[in-house]
Amino acid sequence: MKEEIAKKVNTWLEGNFDVDTKTAVADLQKNNPDDLADSFYKNLEFGTGGLRGLMGVGTNRMNKYTVGMATQGYANYLKQCFPDAVSVAIAHDSRNNSRFFAETVANVFAANGVKVYLFEALRPTPELSFAIRHLKCQGGVVVTASHNPKEYNGYKAYWNDGSQLVPPHDKNVIKEVDKIASVDDVKWSGGESNISMLGKDMDDAYIKMVKSLSVYPEVIQKHKDLKIVYTPIHGTGITLLPQVLKEFGFDNVHIVKEQSEPDGNFPTVAYPNPEESEAMSYGLKLAEKLDADILSGTDPDADRIAIGVKDSNGKWVLMNGNQTAVLAFNYLMEARKTKGIAQPNDMVVTTIVTTPMIDAIAKGNGVNCYRVLTGFKWIAELIRQKEGKENYVIGGEESFGLMIGDQIRDKDGISAVALLCEMAAYEKEKGRSLYEKMIDLYVEYGFYKEHLISITKKGMDGQEQIAAMMEAYRNNPPKAINGSDVVQLLDYELQKETTHKQGKSGRLNYQNQMCCNLF
């Protein structure tokens, strides 16, 4: 074992850690040295979005101590930025240990004199973003690993506008977290009186906001019996989405029973990811059995969505992320115009990895469309820049995420499902399905086809392989791909654009890119 790793292991065996933790470290040391090395070979990185990793003991794992040290650093930075008073909101999903980690975060903040609003039980991530804005907090944390496998958990840090951290705050928080050298630097307890619970009142405020996003409530009333199948995939969506659909006016909603209970073991799926057909298989079976109008699903923290519809042959198919985004963007632009509520300064925002079909639709509707780097924090950042100048309507990207309206600043699966169901009712009123609407959009704006391939590299070796792959790709990029010459290379890390035929290089302007991008 490397000397640096052994030193970290000894610190945990001899330091101020609880007995169960020391026992677990000693057991790994005796029985699983490879796992021990992977658990300690580095510190779990507090990246620009927070923490995410396997749960377990060690510096490279999600546990009480890594979570507490991260929170201490974040608390220190918030107090520097807001010296008069600091308040934060904290939420968590259905994963194993999520409640424990959320309470740990709350206790550390509170011990540092921070006012804490802690949700009384699991809640969707978008409600956390809403709560930060609603309560005028300076920051927030949600404990979730999104759609990762059950062995993972995570920690997302938010700023006072309800978005995840962006420059300069992201890098500055990382610096403060890195200064926490020991668990002895953490204030673990002593401020319990600073913690207040959030529950029904916040739920009601959030639901009222989501309901205000409806464009055609009168259409829903005509089709309130629209047959909807919904699966929360053992996650937080069950806490709010059935009530939201009822508030919208839908009264024929069927929940997938096998996946209705929040459960961090995700017993019916390998990956609790609505992008995967396997995760939606129970919903597809129920939708087919009931001859439903639309199938919908959300991931464990209910910020990502998936929808299923019947194709022209009556076969159920899952729409991909780009198609889902296209339908939602088009609906809001088209319906707002038809209803006379569109504004001359309306804008929509998407990201560099998302279909350029959205740009074409926006142009066809006379709406400004902007592209930002991948991630909803960059959509939120652009909203900040344009506030008072342009009217934000919707943002989204191909990773099955949508952010509708500007009252939250992160992707929201709850409002997205409600709006997609309204869209299904709107198209039914016209005598067609969402699938047929998608075909109509292809006819009008051109056919766009995409396919996503995911490659996973795990652990210490995986990180080294990824770094080597990127270095080789950057230093020796391909001249052709599948027989086609590469005409342009876009390097987002270096912010550099190279056009091969002209032999020119320059600073990358990603907001204006309308091409397929290579990473």
Catalytic residues: 146
The one-letter code for the residue type at 219 is V
HEC letters along 20-73? HHHHHHHHHHHHCHHHHHHHHCCCCCCECCEEEEEECCCCCCECHHHHHHHHHH
Three-state secondary structure call for residue 289: helix
What's the CA gap between 285 and 290, in Å, rounded? 9
Three-state secondary structure call for residue 198: strand
Q: Evaluate whether 490 touches 500 at the Cβ level (below 8 Å).
A: no
What's the CA gap between 3 and 233, in Å, rounded? 43
Instruction: Give residues with Cβ within 8 angstroms of 135, minimum separation 6.
Output: 87, 89, 117
CA neighbor of 295 nearest in space, from 249, 227, 359: 227
The one-letter code for the residue type at 383 is I
CA neighbor of 479 nearest in space, from 471, 488, 470, 467: 488
How many of the other CB atoms lie within 10 Å of CB of 517?
A: 16
C-alpha 178, offset from chain centre: 25
Instruction: Give residues with Cβ within 8 angstroms of 507, minimum separation 6.
Output: 495, 496, 497
What's the CA gap between 519 and 260, in Å, rounded? 38
Q: Evaluate whether 396 touches 329 at the Cβ level (below 8 Å).
A: yes
H helix or E strand, kind and range, residue 117: strand 115-119
